Chains A and B, each alone.
Chain A
């Protein structure tokens, strides 16, 4: 009983951490990637990406807490973030910043 309770508490902590860190990381990377890939003026693209990222954050928080198991969410988040990070990094190194 106690073991189950502490296991549950651990899972809540894990999900909370993943929700906050994961959602912010993903939202930031969405903002950065959109800023790079959206066509047109660079300031415009940066602003558009930033606005969109505020909708990404709560969506991921709800996903993290709503999913039955945490591990698949963690894995998908890490892979997704890594892909976005790689794309942004490649785009900045080849295209440069203003």
Chain B
């Protein structure tokens, strides 16, 4: 009975893992990169300096709006956190006639400021690290809701694969340190087990909390049982600040100093991450601030509404246990609270998860290849999996490299420039599948790995030629965030070069050469 149970769990593990493994690989890797979303955006906008103080960046944004758009009916300030750079400010100009409804032109009524000088800067149009964050759960080129359902279903497969994996892996403690190299299938299994087991708390946490982030979408029935419509639930569970809309008399444009002093005292120095001022040039002006999400694990940051004098007119009520649990789970998943050290641990654990999926996919083909080689028959399914493996495991990183390269090469005045960069990502990734399908497996692995190595190595060079910044100037000016990204890109290049060499050595030793020459002889 026990053996039969383990066998069925093994079957379930293999198939749940394989069926959605490629999407999971992309979801895991993009999510892992998204832990550094602000840093990546900073790298991709070489025009800005790095934020030294988020609160100060808000003050700079307020001062700029005060001076340049004193008559606006609404201001918004979105500072980057201290890991990022440029401040985004938006405003709604006054309507042409007093009775008309004020309208904001999304293309014109926006500016970017340097967080430290407060001067307006021309940053390139890019999604930066936010692209990986969005890709992680929205996918791309499809309605968001589809992407979220696809990712959710795949994540449930992942969850089942993790749990069955624990059941199947009999000797978790005996095999804990076991990693044998150059033993073919055995080595792939060892690697799969080791990365799976070592970061197991992370894998379970990240998968479970992943569902929780979109809980009410995947599982709306708990809410449906208690509320006749969703809005009532959201209003009850997550009350939003109410903005009074009574008008006063004209007044000089609002100075944010009073409001900033209030939140600084209330939040123990934690900064606001999003600020909106309603009717800044009126005595009835109202300031709404959301607290930055790096202040606590709970992702549902505090919010506060103040009047012109900085007096609190609305504050968030205390939270219930379930709401707090929910917020902490989402916070654990997104890791916005994490300082630099913990952020790296998140990143490495994410890479571990990505490796677990990748080695699992490869293990499937290695196992079956041996079986089929014995029978010496070609197998369509095996070939398909192999192409998808190569195109995903090397193709996705190649796409990442293309995205970084595009950020430096796409002309700055390109229309829809941000989307053009993303186009490079998908083009490189997509071409990888075609390439993998056209070349015999070991060659495809080698050539794509080599291409990825070259592409990653090229990025810091291109960056040095196309922007004023390079690795040396970054180090000299103490710009460690950009320098670290350049280093990481070079390290990735070395890693891919190493993998390419490994594959080349393997395929030279393998007896696939005579067969290939026979095929060539037949075709010629």
Contacts and interface: CB of A to CB of B under 8 A. Distances in A.
Interface in B222-243: 222-228, 232-233, 236-237
Contacts of B1: 68
Contacts of A98: 226-228, 232-233, 236
Interface string A29-41: 1011111100011
B223 A50 contact: yes
Interface in B304-332: 320-323, 325-326, 329
Nearest to A51: B212
A72 to B, nearest CB: 14
Contact of A54 (B4, B164, B208): B208
Contacts of B237: 43-44, 46-47
A15 to B, nearest CB: 9
Given A32-B222, A32-B225, A49-B222, A43 B159 contact: no
Say what secondary structure dominates the interface of chain B. helix
Interface residues of B, number: 39
Interface in B1-17: 1, 4-5, 8-9, 11-12
A65 B161 CA distance: 12
B222 A50 contact: yes
Given A41-B320, A98-B233, 18 more contacts: A32-B221, A33-B225, A43-B320, A46-B222, A47-B237, A47-B326, A48-B222, A48-B322, A49-B225, A50-B216, A51-B212, A51-B215, A54-B211, A62-B9, A62-B164, A65-B11, A92-B225, A98-B228
Interface of A: 27-29, 31-36, 40-51, 53-55, 57-58, 61-62, 65-66, 68, 88, 91-92, 97-98
20 contacts: A31-B225, A32-B222, A34-B222, A35-B223, A42-B226, A43-B236, A43-B237, A44-B321, A44-B322, A51-B325, A51-B329, A53-B221, A54-B215, A62-B12, A62-B167, A65-B9, A66-B9, A92-B225, A97-B225, A98-B232
Interface of B: 1, 4-5, 8-9, 11-12, 156, 159-160, 163-164, 167, 208, 211-212, 215-216, 218-219, 221-228, 232-233, 236-237, 320-323, 325-326, 329
